Each structure stands twice: as structure tokens, then as C-alpha cells.
């Protein structure tokens, strides 16, 4: 693939405003199963070592191919919506079960939508909404016109 076809763009990492990055990291890691990539401290003017005490003010968290940046009291506004794709309705249901057991803020459980998707909504500590979606299960004759 020629990388010039897309102007060199190859990834997108939304930056979400967080009231407290440390609390947001805790929520994303322990409730939503994300992993901490790195955390920056403005006070120390450097990246924090794993497990190091300190107040992170910017961080990267990720799960699978999804990466989000968290910025303390800057770069955006509370309440952003993010659309996260999974392959199957079963995966939406499994995430719902996992997240509900860990105390995530489920705004809406998985529902079949008229537009052919199964979707659920989860909210983080700063009112950002993760809309998780997959195609609804297809029937054997789906897409066949008569």
C-alpha cells in the first residue's frame, strides 16, 4: 500500500478532557480493561515510571487497536462521544457483561437498532460516552432480493 494515498495518516487517538487523569486511568484500566501506555506529569516534567507515585496530567490508555489520550482539565470538553467497533453482537454482549461486573457506568445495555446494529453505551467519569457497536446477527437470507 502506498502511504501517500492517505496523506500519511495512519491512526487517530482522540484526546479526552479529564477532570483528574489519575482517576480516569483507574477507571479505564480497572473497569474497562484498558492498559496504561504511559503517563506524563507536568509537575515532574517527565513520563512517570510504572508504579511511580506522582500526579499524571496526560496519559495514553488502550485496548486492542483503540487508543485514547486523557488530558487533565484541558483539550476538549466533557461529554464527547466515541464510536467503538467490534465484530459481533456476541462481543458487544461480552463487553457489557465484563464492564457491568466491574462497575462501569452502563448508560444503555446492548440493544438491536433499526439500522441493523447492536449497540451499547458506557460513560466514563467525565461524561464521555463510548458507543460500542457491531452488526446484528444476519439471517441466512439477508441481502437476498427477490
Minimal CA–CA distance to 130: which of 5, 11, 8, 32?
32
Is residue 76 domain-resident?
Answer: yes
Is residue 19 domain-resident?
Answer: yes
Is residue 140 domain-resident?
Answer: no
Is residue 41 domain-resident?
Answer: yes
Which residues, 6 or more positions from 83, have their beta carbon under 8 angstroms from its beta carbon?
131, 133
* pLDDT at residue 93, rounded to an integer: 98
Interval 76-86: pLDDT, tens: 999 999 999 99
Is residue 55 domain-resident?
Answer: yes
How many domains does the chain fold into? 1
Is residue 142 domain-resident?
Answer: no
What angle is formed at CA 54 by the lines to CA 56 and CA 104, rounded to 5 degrees?
55
The more confident residue out of 51 and 127 is 127
- Phi, psi dihedral angles at 95 (to 5 degrees): -65, -40
Q: Which residue range(s) make up the domain with 45? A: 11-135
Exposed/middle/buried for 137, CB within 10 Å: 0-12, 13-18, 19+? exposed
Is residue 145 domain-resident?
Answer: no
C-alpha cell at 82: 466515541
Question: In this structure, are residues 21 and 48 in contact, taking their beta carbons and an 8 Å threshold?
Answer: no
> pLDDT at residue 140 above 50?
no
Is residue 85 domain-resident?
Answer: yes
Q: What does DSSP say about strands 105-112 and 117-123: parallel, antiparallel, or unpaired? A: antiparallel
pTM of the model: 0.89
Which CATH number does the domain housing residue 30 bear?
3.10.180.10
What angle is formed at CA 105 by the lines to CA 53 and CA 61, rounded to 5 degrees?
40
Which residues, 6 or more positions from 47, have their beta carbon under 8 angstroms from its beta carbon?
38, 39, 40, 41
Amino acid at each position: 500500500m502506498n502511504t501517500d494515498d492517505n496523506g500519511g495518516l495512519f491512526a487517530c487517538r482522540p484526546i479526552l478532557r479529564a477532570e483528574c487523569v489519575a482517576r480516569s486511568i483507574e477507571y479505564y484500566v480497572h473497569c474497562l480493561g484498558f492498559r496504561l501506555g504511559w503517563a506524563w506529569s507536568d509537575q515532574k516534567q517527565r513520563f512517570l515510571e510504572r508504579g511511580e507515585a506522582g500526579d499524571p496530567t496526560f496519559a495514553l490508555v488502550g485496548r486492542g487497536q483503540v487508543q485514547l489520550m486523557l488530558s487533565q482539565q484541558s483539550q476538549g470538553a466533557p461529554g464527547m462521544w466515541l464510536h467503538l467497533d467490534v465484530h459481533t453482537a456476541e462481543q458487544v454482549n461480552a463487553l457489557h457483561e465484563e464492564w457491568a461486573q466491574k462497575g462501569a457506568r452502563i448508560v444503555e445495555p446492548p440493544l438491536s437498532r433499526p439500522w441493523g446494529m447492536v449497540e451499547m453505551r458506557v460513560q466514563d467519569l467525565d461524561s464521555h460516552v463510548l458507543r460500542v457497536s457491531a452488526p446484528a446477527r444476519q439471517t441466512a437470507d439477508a441481502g437476498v432480493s427477490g
